[in-house]
Amino acid sequence: MRGTRIRTMSAVGAFVLGAMALLAGVAPVRPAEAGASAAASPARYYVAMGDSLAAGSGSTGGADYVNDLYRYAEPLVPGLQVDNLGCSGETTTTMIHGGTCNGYVTGSQLGDAEAFLRAHSGHIAFLTLDIGADDILGCISHTAIDQACFTAGLARVQSELPQILAGLRAADATVPIVGALYYDPFLQYWLGGLQGQRAARLSLRSVERLNATLTTIYHQWGVSIASAPRTFRSADFQRSATWDGLTLPTNVATVCNWTLMCSSGGSNVHTDNAGYAELASTFERVLVVPPTISGSPPGAEVNTSYSYQFAVSGVPNVTVRHRGALPRGLTLGHTGLLAGTPTLPGNYPVPVSVSAETGTTVSETVIIRVGGARPVTGPRL
């Protein structure tokens, strides 16, 4: 599926990226507690790259995996904005050199991604990538696998995916990247009788070869892997699931239930909304965004109610702690909410830290100043 690239937005708003004029959606900031003063959440970015799956082909109402993953991560990374560079029909070759979709300022998806990473250095939360399927998609049919076509496509992936990852790492050496493996949509061939069942098994071997290649390269470049074939149970031919009243092997029924292949008679390889939700969950299970904490609490006053929310982010869930004594009457919750009614004046240096479930911890020391009691004012006698 080829055509004009459409950049999707997960929230309302746009900004101009200097002379590059790159667009990105502006996400709302959710304060932890209404009425609490809060540290301004710095802008963070989710960059999505890939083919028609990243572009959301087959979804309705914005229910694709990029938007679903954004909705999962946004509460955990306040200030998160999404820039979706996905292009239907993109191969590893066109991702590098362009030619499939219009609208890239630099001429290619990789070029725009590199420019965006450099322009927002230190503010990229994570990047997702699905690429490689269109390199071999046209080589598989319900009658045979075109081995020469498949071999050539796989060779391009082996050569060009490392170039893509090298470009991304050169633009931002620390950005967390999650790369996708592919489910096998051609398991739908199973519905075509004995010949179709043979074609389905052959297609699975080909898709597994592609995924093995992707896995090797992603491991070499320190990329986390979202395993769609595991989620879609692509290798499970046990007959224990149903679709449209038919009892089918689990992998076939899953493709029928989560993609458009069976309902379209084998003409649409994309997932439906339910399948995109499963893809998003696959990314969620391996997504790691290093924790951050920032903020400068304003001064407090003795015997006056006080509330301040630190800007805290990280995936998976993070926990805020402190060492040393807080001003008497104040508490620091695990979400970063400093609140209470202080009872003693003074300057209190307090080390605060945020820790992720992965074991990563970031700390900083803040000064919490508590002034004396405010004078009582009123009418004079």
Question: Is 9 a domain residue?
Answer: no
User: Within this chain, do residues 198 and 325 fall inside the same structural domain, yes or no?
Assistant: no
Question: Is 7 a domain residue?
Answer: no
User: Within this chain, do residues 113 and 215 fall inside the same structural domain, yes or no?
Assistant: yes
Residue 69 CB-density burial (10 A; 0-12 exposed, 13-18 middle, 19+ buried): buried
Residue 269: CB atoms within 10 A of its CB come to 25
Residue that is last in its domain, among 287, 312, 334: 287
What are 223's two structure tokens? 């990329």
User: Within this chain, do residues 48 and 174 fall inside the same structural domain, yes or no?
Assistant: yes
Q: Output the average pLDDT for the chain.
A: 89
- Specify the pLDDT at position 38: 73
- Specify the pLDDT at position 41: 73
CA atoms within 13 A on the CB side of 143: 0
* 44 pLDDT tier (thresholds 50, 70, 90): very high
pTM of the model: 0.84
37, β-bridge pairs: 308
User: Within this chain, do residues 211 and 316 fall inside the same structural domain, yes or no?
Assistant: no
Inter-axis angle of helices 273-286 and 65-73, nearest 10: 50
Query: Which SS3 state, helix, strand or coil, does residue 273 take?
Result: helix
- Specify the pLDDT at position 11: 33
**pLDDT tens digit sequence for 95-140:** 999 999 999 999 999 999 999 999 999 999 999 999 999 999 999 9
Residue that is last in its domain, among 265, 287, 309: 287
User: Within this chain, do residues 121 and 269 fall inside the same structural domain, yes or no?
Assistant: yes
Residue 193 CB-density burial (10 A; 0-12 exposed, 13-18 middle, 19+ buried): exposed
How confident is the model over 152-160, as a mean pLDDT?
A: 98
User: Within this chain, do residues 222 and 341 fall inside the same structural domain, yes or no?
Assistant: no
User: Within this chain, do residues 237 and 313 fall inside the same structural domain, yes or no?
Assistant: no
How confident is the model over 316-327, as a mean pLDDT?
A: 91
- Specify the pLDDT at position 373: 62
Residue that is last in its domain, among 252, 287, 322: 287
User: Within this chain, do residues 181 and 245 fall inside the same structural domain, yes or no?
Assistant: yes
- Specify the pLDDT at position 357: 80
Question: Is 250 a domain residue?
Answer: yes
Question: Is 5 a domain residue?
Answer: no
User: Within this chain, do residues 196 and 299 fall inside the same structural domain, yes or no?
Assistant: no
How confident is the model over 312-316, as a mean pLDDT?
A: 92
- Specify the pLDDT at position 32: 34
Print the domain residue range for 143. Answer: 18-287
Q: Which of 244, 139, 223 is nearest to 180 (CA)?
A: 223
Question: Is 77 a domain residue?
Answer: yes
User: Does residue 85 have a pLDDT over 90?
Assistant: yes
- Specify the pLDDT at position 2: 40
- Specify the pLDDT at position 356: 84
How confident is the model over 56-71, as a mean pLDDT?
A: 97
Contact 49, 95 (CB under 8 A): yes
Residue scoring higher pLDDT (380 or 125): 125
Query: Strand 330-332 and strand 337-340: pairing?
Result: antiparallel
**pLDDT tens digit sequence for 336-351:** 999 999 999 999 999 9
* 374 pLDDT tier (thresholds 50, 70, 90): low
**pLDDT tens digit sequence for 181-212:** 999 999 999 999 999 999 999 999 999 999 99
How confident is the model over 240-267, as a mean pLDDT?
A: 96
Question: Is 377 a domain residue?
Answer: no
Inter-axis angle of helices 109-119 and 147-171, nearest 10: 20
User: Within this chain, do residues 194 and 279 fall inside the same structural domain, yes or no?
Assistant: yes
CATH number for position 322: 2.60.40.10
**pLDDT tens digit sequence for 256-274:** 999 999 999 999 999 999 9
- Specify the pLDDT at position 329: 96
* 36 pLDDT tier (thresholds 50, 70, 90): low
Total number of domains constituting the chain: 2
User: Does residue 304 have a pLDDT over 70?
Assistant: yes
CATH number for position 173: 3.40.50.1110
Question: Is 6 a domain residue?
Answer: no
User: Does residue 314 have a pLDDT over 80?
Assistant: yes
User: Within this chain, do residues 171 and 235 fall inside the same structural domain, yes or no?
Assistant: yes
Question: Is 1 a domain residue?
Answer: no
User: Within this chain, do residues 283 and 297 fall inside the same structural domain, yes or no?
Assistant: no
How confident is the model over 205-231, as a mean pLDDT?
A: 98
- Residue 379 parent element (H or E): none
